[in-house]
């Protein structure tokens, strides 16, 4: 079990080196499949040839350590991590110059972030894609968020120039959730502390995101919203900050 840790440390150490001969894995940021289907995760290489590299796949669920799924060597040998069975099938697609991870008979609990990592020349090249968030829809264990709450300190007596808004999403499963903020209908990232997903005792997940916004902007009357999407259940919520003012 120590090898994934070593690999990830190498990944961090070596990804800083960069260089124009590096393969560049380009993973789509999201994917979604119905339970029982064959999920297909793509990892096309923008530079380099897929035949030249070994590929590693890693899985990470919220508030858990990354798990090593498998290694697909450039001689096509496959080694799997102990938690991953033959439902996880790596493919080299020479035509598309892409690595593919198939997950056959995909289950709700396979919902997670998946990274592909290309490795060549005894770790002198070790480059990771930016990860694909996989959401599995329609399973019996899927739970839409029980609540979405937006709280703010807008009515603080100090009249501080910055107002803090907290968006809290409770008890959903699986733990893959998209959380965004918008002002006047446009997504904003400035002042946003990104969504932290936490595992509850009952196995469900909750998430929090905080927005710092200037009191002037808030008072200008432009609608400020927390937007969440839970792909597995199809749940979408838009919560307006205005609705909480004066509470």
Ligand X SMILES: *[C@@H]1O[C@H](CO)[C@@H](O)[C@H](O)[C@H]1NC(C)=O
* Residue 196 within binding range of ligand X, rule CB under 6 A: no
193 touching ligand X, by CB under 6 A: yes
* CA dist 104 → 36, 44, 71, 239 (Å): 7, 20, 17, 37
Residue 191 binding ligand X, by CB under 6 A: yes
Bond before 174 cis per omega within 30 degrees? yes
Cα within 13 Å of Cα(109), Cβ side: 5
Question: For residues 63 and 212, which CB has a smaller minimum distance to ligand X in the complex?
Answer: 212
Minimum Å gap between C-beta 216 and ligand X is 16
Q: C-alpha dihedral over 65, 67, 73, 79, to 10 degrees?
A: 140
Nearer to ligand X, 156 or 193 (CB): 193
Task: Tell me how many residues contact ligand X (CB under 6 A).
Answer: 4
CB nearer to ligand X: pick between 3 and 212: 212
Closest distance to ligand X from the beta carbon of 212 (Å): 4
Least distance from C-beta 192 to ligand X, angstroms? 6
Contacts (CB under 6 A) with ligand X, residues 130-189: 162
C-beta of 5 vs 162, nearer to ligand X: 162
When binding is defined by CB under 6 A, the residue of 104, 130, 212, 220 that contacts ligand X is 212
* Residue whose Cβ sits closest to ligand X: 212
For residue 225, the minimal CB distance to ligand X (Å) is: 18
Residue of 183, 196, 160 lying closest to 242 (CA atoms): 183
Sorted by sequence, the CB contacts under 8 Å of residue 172 that are 6+ apart come out as 143, 144, 145, 146, 204, 205, 206, 207, 230, 233, 235
| Residue 168 near residue 206, CB atoms below 8 Å | yes
2: nearest Cα among 57, 55, 67, 73: 67
Summarize as ranges the residues that interact with ligand X (CB under 6 A). 162, 191, 193, 212
């Amino acid at each position: 079990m120590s090898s994934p840790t070593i690999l990830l440390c190498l990944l961090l150490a070596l990804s800083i080196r960069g260089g124009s001969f590096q393969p560049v894995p380009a993973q789509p940021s999201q994917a979604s499949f119905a339970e029982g289907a064959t999920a297909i995760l793509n990892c096309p290489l923008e530079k380099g040839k897929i035949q030249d590299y070994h590929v590693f796949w890693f899985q990470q669920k919220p508030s858990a350590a990354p798990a090593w799924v498998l290694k697909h060597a450039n001689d096509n040998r496959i080694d799997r991590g102990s938690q991953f069975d033959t439902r996880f099938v790596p493919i080299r697609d020479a035509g598309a110059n892409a690595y593919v991870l198939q997950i056959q008979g995909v289950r709700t609990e396979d919902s997670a972030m998946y990274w592909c990592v290309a490795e060549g020349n005894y770790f002198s090249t070790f480059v990771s894609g930016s990860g694909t968030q996989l959401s599995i829809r329609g399973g019996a264990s899927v739970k839409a968020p029980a609540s979405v709450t937006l709280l703010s300190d807008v009515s603080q007596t100090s009249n501080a120039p910055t107002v803090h808004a907290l968006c809290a999403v409770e008890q959903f499963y699986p733990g893959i959730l998209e959380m965004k903020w918008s002002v006047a209908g446009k997504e904003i990232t400035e002042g946003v502390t990104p969504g932290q997903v936490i595992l509850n005792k009952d196995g469900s997940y909750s998430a929090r995101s905080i927005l710092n916004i200037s009191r002037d902007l808030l008072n200008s009357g432009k609608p400020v919203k927390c937007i969440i999407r839970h792909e597995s259940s199809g749940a979408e919520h838009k919560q307006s900050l205005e609705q909480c003012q004066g509470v």
